[in-house]
Amino acid sequence: MSNYYLAIDIGASSGRHILGSIENGEIQIEEIHRFENKLHQEDGYLCWDYSVLFDEILEGLRKAKTMGKVPSYIGIDTWAVDFVLLDGEDGLTTPMISYRDNRTKGLDEAVNRRISYRELYQRTGIQKQIFNSIYQLIAAKRDFETALDDAEAFLMVPDYFNYLLTGIQSVEYTNATSTGIVSIAENTWDDLLLEELGIPRRLFGEISQPGTILGPLQDEIVERIGYSAQVVLPATHDTASAIMAVPSLDENDVYISSGTWSLFGTETKTPIVTEEAFRLNFTNEGGYGNRICFLKNIMGMWLLQSIRRELEERDKTDYGFDQLAKLAMESSIESVIDCSDARYFAPESMIAEILSYLDETDQRKPATVGELAYIIYHSLALSYAKTLRELESITQLKYEKIYIVGGGAQAELLNQLTADKTKCTIFAGPVEATALGNLGVQMIASGELKDTLEFRKLIAKSFEIKVYKGENR
């Protein structure tokens, strides 16, 4: 009988528990719990509520017991860059502040005065994003006078939840690389960089590879949920988990992990830190199996999510993503926005920001909700096409196929526009890529599957992959 595996996948807006197993030669999955992940203001900062999130983690674990489908293995993945600083009594020396808080504004320049952007990229391979952990640590040092001195451990968000479950402190590799303080040459913390920035090295424990079986649940957790299980480190960075589930068998294919962010790139065996890669702001994040996720961050479905919330508040009606897509398909407007512009990162009003950009660039403003949605879909497809050309220039390869995984794989209009603009064949699916990648690492760690190749073949067999054709280049 196959094991049950449980992927706890927590994103920036919601989390879910996905139960998985292998039955009759296919992967079967079932969502057993879903919950919101809301930001809140705490002491003037935009924060995550870790206690609510951990309660939801336990609630989903209890539901598995109630259903009679007790998992043998459990894995947690979340977004990247955010972390906690633990004191000697397991308390936090700062709130769990979100990467969307503006506390890091200007700190990239402060770091640049000590170590140049180019040298930082050469040493860590990570693109400059103002919310990277390196800048958040400098902000913590500035805003909380004794936060670093009082702390005894630095843990990324999924590592912290794993610690609460098992009592074991460990920092997983794929998420650690997102910090901007891991040496790409050594795959461990950059001691010299930490020293240069005045960040205590003692806070940073050993980095563990995805696939590591961390250990069993603590006794107190077993008492609360009614069973024991082994906690496995998947690729705890949700992007790396999603890429793990790309059903491509060709090393030279392109992927888009399409969700709140669109992560556009390819897998490589070694980092790429050339001048061109630096100039175009591509990043080298850790992946499963000692692979590099060489990719670029594009604003993604965050644009659509934001206008949807505003429209619902304004019009006092529900706008589902399917409805927005239908309205967009019935519309046509040539106006476009630059999806890479930082102005769309966390505006007070996404709609107002888009309209302002169109005014500034003398483009026609949308007259309907459908035209507004079409501008976003069209702009994203153009952004994908531009990024593809950049990727081809950096790698000196020509790509004919693009695999789109994650929630955005359901956006048929965007998929077709992407095929048209990139002139590539688009393979869309699976939708639950992040949870599946999480489950896949657990299945390999347990010995039920051999390796990534076997897992990806199983993905292609188990889930519908839709194909969209573009014109050949």
State the catalytic residues: 238
Contacts of 394 (CB under 8 A, 6+ apart): 272, 274, 276, 277, 280, 282
Lateral strand order in the sheet of 14-23 = 26-36, 14-23, 5-10, 73-78, 230-232, 213-216
- Tell me: cis bond preceding 95? Omega within 30 of 0 counts: no
Residue 126 DSSP class: -
- The tokens for 117 are 């952007």
The angle subtended at Cα 163 by Cα 161 and Cα 167, nearest 5°, is 145
- The tokens for 161 are 């939840």
Q: Find tokens 């490589």 and name the residue.
A: 268
Other C-beta atoms closer than 10 Å to the C-beta of 2 total 15
Residue 47 DSSP class: E
The angle subtended at Cα 18 by Cα 14 and Cα 21, nearest 5°, is 165
14-23/153-156 β-pairing: unpaired
What per-residue string of b and e applies to 248-285 under the rule 16 or more CB within 10 Å gives b? beeeebbbbbbbbbbbbbbbbeebbbeeebbebebbbb
Instruction: Write the CA distances from 445 to 2, 82, 168, 211, 236, integer angstroms.
Output: 14, 26, 18, 5, 14
What per-residue string of b and e applies to 47-82 under the rule 16 or more CB within 10 Å gives b? bbbbeebeebbeebbebbeeeeebbbbbbbbbbbbb
The CA-based dihedral angle spanning residues 413, 419, 420, 424, taken in that order and rounded to the nearest 10 degrees: 180
